[in-house]
């Protein structure tokens, strides 16, 4: 084979290698997009959530309206907003609890001894479920078991011990917060306020579905009573209302 022929062969092999590399690089990204799309579909159709919720804006609106509500200047907007957010946050909390529970059998010692029978059966039936599948199947389990499913979930997360990766105390606290709201131990206002500050092992509580970008900025601004930042982050209609009547 001549030198020219060898060069042509090397060029062809290089082009083929690059094409193969591009195919393998694209596949995981496409799978990730498909899973994210599936999660958004389950969140919307099974749990009634809004995948595109702007959390930072919602938080800024809510705290500004609370300020007006305390002075009886909100025009009944605060309680309407609270009712909407409490419903949404309780559905979100429920959904992500079901997703996290899929790690139980792999992280809890002697699950048959420490888990309630009903939730152990549920987890075995969904042992290979991805997050979206776990969200979906948990909805059916909750419908059949009611509030008792949350007591079972809290016990399951307690059984993780001091896990830093999955389940554990932070998730048990998330379940407990939802339980307090569902059993009317806390009001919708307290529940929404608590949810803003919840965290799981990987960070901000709401990050399983929604973008949490700039949310902490809003929460910090509320604590520091930095009204200009809240006004900047809020919906223009709420900023206008606050500026006019506060």
Burial of 43 (0-12, 13-18, 19+ CB in 10 A): buried
Question: Which of the pair, 64 or 162, is modelled with greater confidence?
Answer: 64
Nearest to 155 by CA among 131, 175, 182: 175
Residue-averaged pLDDT of the chain: 88
- Residue reference for tokens 């792999």: 106
As to burial, measured by CB atoms within 10 angstroms (0-12 exposed, 13-18 middle, 19+ buried), residue 149 is buried
Q: For residue 71, how far is the Cα from the chain centroid?
A: 33
Angle between helices 3-45 and 131-145 (to 10 degrees): 20
Confidence (pLDDT) at 56: 97
With cut-offs at 50, 70 and 90, classify the pLDDT of residue 174: very high
8 Å CB contact between 170 and 199: yes
Confidence of residue 11 (pLDDT cuts 50, 70, 90): very low
**Predicted pLDDT of residue 240:** 97
Q: What's the pLDDT at 32?
A: 64
**In this structure, what token pair is assigned to residue 5?**
């022929």
Q: What is the pTM of this model?
A: 0.85
Neighbouring CB atoms inside 10 A of 131's CB total: 19
Mean pLDDT of the 35-45 span: 91
Task: Please tell me the predicted confidence (pLDDT) of residue 171.
Answer: 95
């Amino acid at each position: 084979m001549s030198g020219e022929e060898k060069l042509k062969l090397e060029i062809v092999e290089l082009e083929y290698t690059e094409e193969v590399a591009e195919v393998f690089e694209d596949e995981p990204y496409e799978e990730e997009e498909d899973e994210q799309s599936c999660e958004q579909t389950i969140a919307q159709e099974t749990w009634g959530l809004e995948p595109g919720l702007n959390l930072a804006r919602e938080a800024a609106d809510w705290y500004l309206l609370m300020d007006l509500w305390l002075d009886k200047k909100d025009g009944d907007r605060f309680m309407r907003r609270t009712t909407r957010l409490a419903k949404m946050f309780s559905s979100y909390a429920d959904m992500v609890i079901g997703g996290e529970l899929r790690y139980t059998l792999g992280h809890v010692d002697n699950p048959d001894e420490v888990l309630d029978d009903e939730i152990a059966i549920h987890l075995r039936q969904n042992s290979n479920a991805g997050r979206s599948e776990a969200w979906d199947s948990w909805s059916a389990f909750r419908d059949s078991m009611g509030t008792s499913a949350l007591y079972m979930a809290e016990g399951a997360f307690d059984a993780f011990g001091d896990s830093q990766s999955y389940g554990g105390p932070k998730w048990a606290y998330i379940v407990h917060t939802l339980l307090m709201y569902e059993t009317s131990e806390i009001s919708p206002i307290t529940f929404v306020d608590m949810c803003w500050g919840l965290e799981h092992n990987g960070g901000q509580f709401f990050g399983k579905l929604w973008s949490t970008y700039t949310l902490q900025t809003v929460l910090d601004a509320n604590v520091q009573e930095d009204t200009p930042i809240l006004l900047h982050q809020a919906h223009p209609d709420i900023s206008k209302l606050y500026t006019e009547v506060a």
